[in-house]
Amino acid sequence: MRVPMNWLAEYCDPGMDAAALADRLAMTGTEVERVVRHGAQTTEGFVIGKVLTREQHPDADRLSVCGVDVGEGEPVTIVCGAPNVDAGQTVAVARPGAVMPDGTKLKKAKLRGVESNGMILAEDELEIGGDHNGIMQLETDPALSGRELAAGAPLIEALVPGEDVLELEITPNRPDCLGVYGVAREVHAITGNPLASLPTGPSPEGDETFSIEVQDHTLCPRFTARVYRDVKVGSSPLWLKQRLSAAGQRPINNVVDITNYLMLLTGQPMHAFDMDKIRGGRLVIRNASEAEKMTTLDGVERVCDEQTVLVCDGEGPSAIAGIMGGAISEVSDETTSVLLEIATWNGPNIHRTSQKLALRSEASGRFEKGLSAELPLEVQELAAKLMTELTGARLTSATIDVAGEIAAPRAVKLRATKLRALLGAEISAQRCAEILQRLAFDVAVEGDDVVATPPHFRAADITREADLIEEIARVEGVDSIPATLPAAPAAIGRLSGSQRLKRRIEDLLAANGYHEAITWSFTGAQQLAAISADGAAAPEHELLTIANPLSEDHSVMRPLALPGLLQAAKHNLARGADAVRLFEVGAVYSGTADEPREHTAIALLLSGPAAAGTWRDQGANGDFYALKGVVDAVAAQAGVTPEYQPIDATHHTYLIPGRAAEVLVGDVSLGWLGELHPLVAKRFDLPDTVVGELNLQALSALLPEPVTYEPISTFPPAREDIAVVVEAERTADEVLGVVREAGGKLLSGAGVFDVYEGEQVGEGRKSLAIRLTYSAPDRTLTDDEVAAARAKITERLESIGGLLRG
């Protein structure tokens, strides 16, 4: 909200400049977004002038050469291009040295050979209004005519040429600050400077009545109206235009300007009806029927629903309550009778309707925050003053007031002990009372306690002791509260086992050359199709779909982190990276809106060498086994050694089926890894790439008990190597399984150290070289014992078709 400094000072003079006030407001709970300048950059150099003479410029048809009295004894020459300039006028003059709104500093200038000592100003040149048809004639302005305007007097005596404007961010709990007067109350509270009261208007001259019926007071707690006759619609005085413009509202005509001005002053929106266009001579406030239509004054036909509240005349809708008037009863230049509605509406209902109709206005933005139902009566008084003074109207009715039951503000008790306990600072009951009084509360001190009743415009926000404490804290200054630390014997800080596991895994991956990425949690159908080898359909995942996504690409919660990592790999390879090793630890999602599921995934991607090459070593190739080593290392952090089993390719269409594995511990699946399908790799412009994903929660669940020491054998082990030729389909795990079973207790280790396929072993067969280690905890094994164990192993290997090579 924009608050012009001069307007503010009319009600409470802060006694400081805009920047200092901005700081004070910020430190007491009113956020100032910035201070801006409206109109001229300076007030100096702007004076009142009297045009004494006007002559045609000798060399330019459209220019006049004027002799202007600017209070310097001799008149000065000013060249003016306005068609309406003439001798006898009182005008606004910018003298050389004056700084215009756009920052240009005015200088003496020769215009077609004639020296001009300034500029006679039009409205738009000071950002007062939009009018550039001619210069401002101060003596004809309704508010200035009849006033003594001395030539050479500072212009600010008649009109504000430029001023600072505060741009405030009003928090939703303070709708009372949505007007200049509300901000003046704040300034009063924080500075103690006097607060002027709002003026009151004339008493009604007539006793005209008008029928108003409110069907549901929960939707319309109060509806007030006053009737004005002999209204002359016309232009507003300059001061009003200047204030509206400085506050960011375009001047239109005096009646509309008055309603806007009062809204900006008090925060209370209102609506002026052309009384003669209210059919049937009555208003009914009711809910719309389903799909009831009406045209708002912006010319758009609106389709209402049953929760929309309408202000209707005898024949149909005339305005959408609290949001926008109807075209049918709009005030025009011909209007002579005005019914001024000032009402209170149900905030949530206005909010809902404004959402539903996608129609926001200054009025709806205020009503939806919930305004005081006492406010309309006060504002009707103010309106009467302006309507009669500025439009020449006669107020012909008393205030027609149709109100439901309006709750009075409730007294709230503030205990000094509670205040102290919450803030950790000492503020006396007396001081509390003083602060609350300045905030317009009704206050009684009862010993150490204070009983305070909020003013009506704060009644909705102040209902509890905590609300009072907040008020006192902010006015007293929260920044003055001393810093202490909780005396917290029960506070024991530590990370949980799974949090520590996560950190270990992240550190492990970083230490092994992987960069941590953070990719979007969102994905889209197209991205999921792109990781399916056939490109046609998304992989089989239960997708959690956002009802109101920002874009198609971000419409689904990722069921796996792969699409984001592939995109990141593509990004980096396109920018010259020769290897990409990425990991991400983050949530992946599944299930439905009713039963959403998420778990933390550890996603891995390896594209290019497994380790960076150096000047003497090209680096190991990044393939399945390279990433399997990483997966083993990650699992080892949780103290487990996983098994690798063939994967169900229909669930992992982005992998090469024969080069992929499910990672298991017992029957718990930890995740998967595998080489990226070349068709998928091609879509992301990737070379051979290996990817994988593990479930952090599944790993955490396997975190072991503390390790129990086992005695180390002091007897040397016996080692020997064997080579066995088996069918190529046999996996290493199968063969080792057979070996281990046959070796029994004496076989303490068995591992494959070489694999050979080729002519020497024949088509469809392979040779596995296996290192066997035999040992016993209590003795050195004899040759006979080792030989017996080996014989058993050999026998079992032969039984599965294995052939031992010499």
Q: Which of residues 163-202 bind other proteins (CB under 8 A)?
A: 171-174
491 in contact with other proteins (CB under 8 A): yes
| Sites for other proteins among residues 517-576 (CB under 8 A) | 517-522, 544-550, 554, 557, 568, 571-572, 575
417 in contact with other proteins (CB under 8 A): no
The single residue among 200, 355, 526, 731 that binds other proteins, judged by CB under 8 A, is: 355
Beta-carbon contacts of 86 under 8 Å, excluding residues fewer than 6 positions away, are 51, 54
The single residue among 73, 194, 493, 806 that binds other proteins, judged by CB under 8 A, is: 493
Residues 152 and 167: their CA atoms lie apart, in Å, by 33
Binders of other proteins: how many residues, by CB under 8 A? 95
Residues 439 and 479: their CA atoms lie apart, in Å, by 20
Query: Which residue number, 219 or 473, has a Cβ lying nearer to other proteins?
Result: 473
| Sites for other proteins among residues 263-322 (CB under 8 A) | none
Q: Where are the beta strands (DSSP E) in 41-121?
A: 46-56, 64-69, 76-80, 90-94, 109-111, 114-116, 119-120
**Contacting range for other proteins; rule: CB under 8 A; set: 6-14, 109-117, 420-428, 794-802:** 420-428
CB of 490 to other proteins, least distance (A): 4
The single residue among 421, 444, 787, 791 that binds other proteins, judged by CB under 8 A, is: 421
The single residue among 596, 646, 737, 749 that binds other proteins, judged by CB under 8 A, is: 596
Query: Which residue number, 238 or 419, has a Cβ lying nearer to other proteins?
Result: 419
| Sites for other proteins among residues 422-461 (CB under 8 A) | 422-425
Q: Are 461 and 370 in contact (CB under 8 A)?
A: no
CA atoms within 13 A on the CB side of 119: 21
CA proximity to 669, closest of 651, 705, 643: 643
The single residue among 87, 111, 156, 466 that binds other proteins, judged by CB under 8 A, is: 466
593 in contact with other proteins (CB under 8 A): yes
Query: Which residue number, 441 or 589, has a Cβ lying nearer to other proteins?
Result: 589
| Sites for other proteins among residues 365-384 (CB under 8 A) | 368
Query: Which residue number, 23 or 115, has a Cβ lying nearer to other proteins?
Result: 23
The single residue among 297, 478, 525, 761 that binds other proteins, judged by CB under 8 A, is: 478
Q: Are 177 and 65 in contact (CB under 8 A)?
A: no
Query: Which residue number, 565 or 724, has a Cβ lying nearer to other proteins?
Result: 565
Q: Are 799 and 741 in contact (CB under 8 A)?
A: no
Burial readout 302-316 (b: 16 or more C-beta within 10 A, e: otherwise): bebeeebbbbbbeee
Rg (CA), the chain: 42
Query: Which residue number, 493 or 704, has a Cβ lying nearer to other proteins?
Result: 493
CB of 155 to other proteins, least distance (A): 32
Give the strand order in the sheet containing 119-120. 76-80, 64-69, 46-56, 90-94, 119-120
481 in contact with other proteins (CB under 8 A): yes
CB of 365 to other proteins, least distance (A): 10
CA proximity to 720, closest of 697, 695, 746: 746
Phi, psi of 590, rounded to the nearest 5 degrees: -155, -170
CB of 176 to other proteins, least distance (A): 13
CB of 778 to other proteins, least distance (A): 39
CA proximity to 440, closest of 651, 620, 185: 185
Question: Residue 712 CB: number of other CB atoms within 10 A?
Answer: 6
Query: Which residue number, 203 or 548, has a Cβ lying nearer to other proteins?
Result: 548
User: Which burial class, exposed, middle or buried, applies to 517 when counting CB atoms under 10 A from its CB (0-12, 13-18, 19+)?
Assistant: buried
| Sites for other proteins among residues 321-350 (CB under 8 A) | 347-348
The single residue among 112, 503, 719, 745 that binds other proteins, judged by CB under 8 A, is: 503
499 in contact with other proteins (CB under 8 A): yes
Residues 706 and 701: their CA atoms lie apart, in Å, by 14
For residue 250, give both structure tokens: 């375009």
